[in-house]
């Protein structure tokens, strides 16, 4: 990942944190927001993932934790220790503030929530994710039971190095048998949307633009591995972290990179991370599409919102992903598993993907 990209993303999220308004006002604003349904749905997906793959975990690492929007989910899932890491110092400060609020609420409630005495969260600012590899976040030599990356993986698809460094860090911190999971936009769907709209989409609630120099890649003329890193677009969704206004160079929104499922599977296999293909239908049947797909890793969001069709379009760009870490010594077939998923001759996306709403 280039330093300039790191600096740009950091500025973006520092500015976002500056827009923080008092909690009471934030809740009123939120309830009036056009995107409230979408936020609820996305939170429900994250909650279900945390409950399915990290409930009662001793140690969880969250990469790109932002302002601690998942604090309540971790607490409710009875996770004992969470380490949250983010690039933005300002988002980290906000997360720490929210942690204090959660603690005093849990202590001061009518029925004191005893979990508060055992719940422990630490938030760290780091410029090194995707740059250094690996970074160990465990304090006293334990490994993590789960590592999460919620709506942040796309920042690491700038270069092959950046993704490899991130995945090496994930694996170095994760126990064998532990899960690496999260949510992210599916690059193929972003690409389809942009292709359909000639590289630029401006709607009522969100906008998405390909960065000028990348227009030819919309055709996927060259699908070599290298050329699918750094496919840049700007994205802004009303009333969310991506929608930062003000005098910033990237006032079009957040600058992001397309995430490709097959590349992710292939590079994760190098560090002993293998896709989880089956999800619990009871927990996810109303949230994610669980149909068998080409690679099987990405489970796309299937939201139903009232009135605003565009909200469904933007929501359906996203998917959940989960890997399990296998033992490099005992699982001699781990690479085969990854390769079987990929089907080597299928590296090119030849056809259109028509399932983007």
Ligand X SMILES: C[S@@+](CC[C@H](N)C(=O)[O-])C[C@H]1O[C@@H](n2cnc3c(N)ncnc32)[C@H](O)[C@@H]1O
What is the contact surface with ligand X in residues (CB under 6 A)? 6, 9, 13, 64-66, 69, 86-88, 91, 129-130, 150-152, 155, 241
Q: How far is the CB of 62 from ligand X (least distance, A)?
A: 7
Question: What does the DSSP 8-state code read for residue 224?
Answer: -
Query: Cβ closer to ligand X: 91 or 261?
Result: 91
Burial label for 177, CB within 10 Å (0-12, 13-18, 19+), is exposed
User: Least Å distance between CB 13 and ligand X?
Assistant: 4
Residue nearest ligand X by beta-carbon distance: 66
Q: Kindly tell me which of 134 and 296 has the beta carbon lying closer to ligand X.
A: 134
d(CA 338, CA 356): 26
Strand 81-86 and strand 318-325: the pairing is unpaired
Nearer to ligand X, 152 or 311 (CB): 152
Q: Report the SS3 class of residue 315.
A: helix
CB of 211 to ligand X, least distance (A): 17
Rounded Cα gap, residues 357 and 349, in angstroms: 19
For ligand X, the closer of residues 241 and 276 by Cβ is 241
Closest distance of CB 246 from ligand X, Å:
16
Distance CA 21, CA 92 (A): 16
CA distance 191 to 88: 28
Q: How many helices (H) and strands (E) does the chain have?
A: 11, 12
CB of 203 to ligand X, least distance (A): 19
Is there a contact between 318 and 275 (Cβ–Cβ < 8 Å)?
A: no
Measured between alpha carbons, how far is 112 from 89 in angstroms, rounded to an integer? Answer: 31
Q: How far is the CB of 222 from ligand X (least distance, A)?
A: 26
**Residue 86 or 266 with smaller CB distance to ligand X:** 86
Q: How far is the CB of 29 from ligand X (least distance, A)?
A: 17
Residue closer to ligand X, measured from CB, 94 or 262: 94
* Strands, E assignment, 231-295: 232-237, 254-257, 273-275
Report yes or no: 258 and 157 within 8 Å, Cβ to Cβ: yes
Nearer to ligand X, 242 or 341 (CB): 242
DSSP, collapsed to helix, strand or coil, labels residue 310 as: helix
List helix spans (H) across the chain.
Answer: 3-18, 23-32, 36-54, 71-76, 89-108, 160-173, 187-196, 261-269, 281-284, 309-315, 334-342
When the beta carbons of 47 and 59 are compared against ligand X, the nearer one is 47
Q: How far is the CB of 317 from ligand X (least distance, A)?
A: 13
């Amino acid at each position: 990942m280039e330093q300039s990209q790191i600096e740009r993303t950091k500025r973006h999220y520092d500015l976002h944190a500056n827009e923080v308004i008092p909690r009471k006002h934030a809740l009123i604003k939120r309830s009036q927001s056009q995107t409230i349904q979408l936020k609820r749905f996305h939170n429900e997906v994250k909650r279900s993932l945390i409950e399915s793959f990290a409930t009662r975990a001793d140690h969880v690492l969250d990469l790109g934790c932002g302002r601690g929007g998942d604090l309540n989910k971790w607490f409710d899932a009875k996770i004992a220790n969470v380490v949250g890491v983010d690039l933005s110092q300002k988002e980290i400060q906000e997360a720490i503030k929210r942690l204090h609020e959660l603690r005093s609420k849990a202590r001061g409630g009518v029925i004191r929530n005893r979990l508060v005495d055992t719940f422990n969260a630490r938030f760290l600012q780091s410029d090194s994710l995707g740059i250094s590899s690996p970074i160990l976040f465990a304090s006293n030599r334990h490994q993590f039971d789960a590592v999460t990356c919620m709506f942040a993986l796309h920042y690491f698809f700038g270069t092959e190095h950046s993704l490899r460094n991130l995945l090496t860090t994930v694996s170095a911190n994760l126990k064998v048998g532990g899960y690496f999971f999260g949510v992210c936009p599916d690059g193929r769907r972003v690409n389809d949307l942009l292709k359909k709209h000639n590289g630029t989409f401006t709607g009522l609630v969100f906008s998405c633009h390909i960065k000028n120099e990348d227009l030819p890649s919309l055709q996927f003329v060259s699908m070599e591995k290298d050329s699918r890193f750094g496919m840049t677009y700007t994205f802004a969704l009303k009333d969310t972290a991506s929608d930062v206004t003000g005098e910033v160079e990237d006032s079009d929104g957040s600058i992001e990179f397309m995430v490709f499922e097959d590349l992710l599977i292939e590079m994760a296999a190098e560090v002993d991370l293998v896709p989880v293909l089956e999800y619990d239908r009871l927990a996810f049947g109303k949230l994610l599409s669980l149909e068998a797909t080409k690679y099987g890793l990405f489970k796309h969001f299937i939201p139903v919102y009232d009135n605003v069709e565009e909200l469904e379009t933007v929501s359906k760009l996203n998917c959940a992903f989960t890997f399990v870490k296998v033992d490099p010594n005992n699982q001699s077939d781990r690479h085969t598993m990854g390769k079987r998923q990929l089907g080597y001759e299928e590296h090119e996306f030849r056809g259109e993907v028509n399932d983007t709403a």
